[in-house]
Structure 1
Amino acid sequence: MARRKGKDLISQLPDDILLHILSMPCEPPRWKHLHTKLPALSFIMSVLGAQGSSLSTQSRQRVDSMARTLRRRCAGPDRDTVKRLCLAYRKDVPMECRYADEFIALAAASSLELFLNCPKNLRNDDAGPWSLHLPAATACLSMESCWYSVRPPHVHGPGASALKSLTFKDSFMVLHPGYLQDTAFPSLEELHISGCTLSGSIEITSATMPRLKHLRIADVSVVSLGTAAAIAVLADELTTLRVSCHDGGKPDPPSSHEMLCVETLFRASFTEYSYFRLRAPKLRVFDWRCCYAKEVRVDAVDRHLSDVVIEL
């Protein structure tokens, strides 16, 4: 191993150079091009510590290396399909955002998972609006953020029409009124909203999601005690609806937007909605666990509703 003054120099080479070394003829043939055929790829550009401190130094050289690796992988007509692409990057670093857009376009993965980092010291400000251009091949999109300052994106591109599954997974995102009505997802069949916070009422309707069949809402909170936030589900093709709050309690939330200023780990768990409205004429499964609503309105469900669970 090459060493200089006791220091390992080989391990400090860019990732794409290391991969080239691994693919040299001295390696067994079956391992030679393994990195060009793996169906799942993960790229971690940088991560943040619990208090917003960096756990990995931002390095354009390292991210450039990731880009070269993916470009080689995706070059040529005989390339192997990337089935799942996982990206972890910071929304407050323009360089990482640009590369993330390139990685998504190059890989054209059928499943895309985004882990969005942002420091907590932005206080009441956030990382700003942003858009996500999806390739036509992307059928599943999952997003997870580490703090409330990351907004959900405006999804566009051919993938917005082809998307079948959308997940906000245990994220700290704040869903603003109208967000789910701003973009049409004509092919979407599954929507999972977990751990988000409502700044107002939201509607999930057939107008933007005409094929929606399965909806899961878990641990979705209200931003403050004085906020009237309702959830309306008006979905003609919906067959399964599950609404739950795993905390099972009703603690007082922070006032106003104090949650954006808290430096320690904080998860809102106040789940009293001003009302919950349901119109799903094909609904067969209704599961409601440990959530509070001042009023629940059921306009229509399937007369053959077969599975109902209500837990308070």
Structure 2
Amino acid sequence: MHLRWGPRRRSPRLLAQGGGPDLISDLPDDLLLLVLAGLPCVSAAARTGVLSRRWRSLWPRLRQIVFSDVPLHSLEAVLDRLPRPLPLVSLIKIRFPNERLPWPIPEERLVDAASVNSLLRAAARLEPEEFEFELPTNLLDGPLIVDLPCFHRATSILLDLHPVDVILRVPTGVEFPALEELHLWACTADIDALLSCSPRLRTLCLSNVYSDNDDLAVSATLAVSSASLQELVLLQTDWMDGVNIVAPTLRQLTVSFPAMEKVSISVLAPMVEMVAWRCCYFELSIVFGVWRLEQVTLQTAERPGQLPSLQIHASANPIFVSEEETFMHEIEKHMFAEFSVLDLHLETNGHVFGALVFHVLGMNRICSAMQKLKVILQRSSVKEGCSPHCPCESTGWRSQTISLTRIKEVEISGCGGDDHDIDFLKLILKCAPRLKKMIVKLSDGGASSSDDGCTNIYNIFKAYSSVELCLS
């Protein structure tokens, strides 16, 4: 019997049916690793080992290890089975599959703190440059206390813990000497401890994150103090009662949070250049006359030629109780950065607005900084005509004299052209000697070119020939 040694030669018939040379496996290793890196999960990369022995030795050399379809209870064992030594791992990304489980969920499938902490330690042992971890909320049973282990080489960490009761702790001795970027979602954490062990941190993003102390007492005041931070993002959907920021090298600040009542705000960031700040009020406690404060926004310029602005939203309702000092003091808390535009969004609900606007303009920090005034009136179908004793006319604003020497442009949208609106325009013209342009946009159903109100608007500008009027 004659035996043949060496590679078998394929017949012309097999070649014609697609069983030709394996051209993909002949590619260089670097190209094949790029192919494997494009697969959605490292388990899929491992399964390519069925193609040939050469593929089996490739996937352990991946520098980016992504898990997206491996159950949590199996994941730690998979990490421990990775061949050693591994190449320098640039990324470990852990996402869990959405499993359809019976209800109630079997106890053996539920996730506890011990399994989560053990998995994090296994990932830390691989020393990735970037680490991303998302906790599976559908498998959690009650609150978890998660201890964050040392990631010595990590420059970026992202922890998405979802809206569950998770307390993130930093054990004694844990450090992140290379960490430059940290993202946290939905947890309670000791922010001071995280910052103190991250001396190179440049970017901090917190979304629905709350502070705790050593006694695990949750605080609705979020405090961030760092000498290295250059970008800070704070996004909250649950109400806060305070924000305290000390960041001497901070360049960019983004903050959005709701408040139930008065808030405590302290921002010490002398080098900040870009600000996007928004606070929404959901209680009725911040009022002036009939006006309730709804939102304050502070925004620096986003493009060349744009001016930084302070935006105030308020709505009128006669059931409110006047607290003049509270209203203005609350607005002043948000004025920690320079602005040149005052943007007022007023929902009138049948009430007049002159008293409120001039009360705001009377603030020293506003009248000394403002170069442009925008008033956007959201009129209701109720005809505006308050009684002499209505709180919206409570301050005798028509007789006020305010020095608006820096203001150069005024824009009013929703002007009705009635006596109140005419008096408001007259007082603006009187108080702003350097005004160059006024844009008046009439409300639907307001004055038209044939109305007396519109004629009166044109007439009052005859005495101010240096002011350009744009009426539409």
Does the alignment pair 1:285 with 2:274?
A: no
Q: SS of the counterpart of 2:149? A: strand
Amino acid corresponding to residue 87 of structure 1 in structure 2: F
Does the alignment pair 1:164 with 2:155?
A: yes
CA RMSD of aligned residues (A): 4.4
Return the TM-score normalized by structure 2: 0.41
Does the alignment pair 1:189 with 2:189?
A: no
Cα separation, partners in 2 of 1:180 and 1:116, compared to 1, 3 Å? farther
Distance in 2 (CA, whole Å) between partners of 1:204 and 1:191 is 13
Structure 1: segments with no counterpart, 5+ residues:
1-21, 47-60, 76-80, 246-269
Larger Rg: 2
Aligned partner (choices 200, 206, 211) of residue 211 of structure 1: 200
The answer (yes or no) to whether the contact 2:147–2:168 under 8 Å persists in 1 is no
Distance in 2 (CA, whole Å) between partners of 1:192 and 1:231 is 15
CA drift at 1:147: 0.8
Does the alignment pair 1:73 with 2:58?
A: yes
Distance in 2 (CA, whole Å) between partners of 1:38 and 1:132 is 26
The answer (yes or no) to whether the contact 2:36–2:59 under 8 Å persists in 1 is no
CA drift at 1:188: 0.5
Q: Which residue of 2 aligns with 1:128?
A: 113
Q: Which residue of 2 aligns with 1:91?
A: 72
Return the TM-score normalized by structure 1: 0.58
Q: Which residue of 2 aligns with 1:241?
A: 232
Cα separation, partners in 2 of 1:272 and 1:177, compared to 1, 3 Å? farther
The answer (yes or no) to whether the contact 2:92–2:123 under 8 Å persists in 1 is no
Aligned partner (choices 109, 114, 137) of residue 89 of structure 2: 109
User: Alpha-carbon deviations, 1:149-174, whole Å to 9, x = none?
Assistant: 56656333xxx121100112474564
Q: SS of the counterpart of 1:161? A: coil
Cα separation, partners in 2 of 1:214 and 1:42, compared to 1, 3 Å? same
In terms of mean alpha carbon deviation, does 113-122 or 184-193 score higher? 113-122
In terms of mean alpha carbon deviation, does 178-187 or 231-240 score higher? 178-187
Distance in 2 (CA, whole Å) between partners of 1:148 and 1:65 is 33
Distance in 2 (CA, whole Å) between partners of 1:175 and 1:92 is 19
Does the alignment pair 1:307 with 2:274?
A: yes
Distance in 2 (CA, whole Å) between partners of 1:296 and 1:148 is 36
CA drift at 1:148: 6.4
CA drift at 1:44: 6.3
Residue identity (%)? 15
Q: Which residue of 2 aligns with 1:143?
A: 133
Structure 2: segments with no counterpart, 5+ residues:
1-17, 212-216, 280-472
CA drift at 1:189: 0.6
CA drift at 1:139: 1.0
CA drift at 1:142: 0.8
User: Alpha-carbon deviations, 1:44-94, whole Å to 9, x = none?
Assistant: 669xxxxxxxxxxxxxx979979x98861267xxxxx5332201322234x
User: Alpha-carbon deviations, 1:217-253, whole Å to 9, x = none?
Assistant: 224479xxx96454332211001111124xxxxxxxx
Flag the structure with higher helix content.
Answer: 2
Distance in 1 (CA, whole Å) between partners of 2:193 and 2:263 is 18
Distance in 2 (CA, whole Å) between partners of 1:36 and 1:112 is 16
Q: Which aligned pairs between 1:16-35 and structure 2 lie closer than 5 A?
A: 25-27=21-23, 31=27, 35=32
In terms of mean alpha carbon deviation, does 208-217 or 34-43 score higher? 34-43
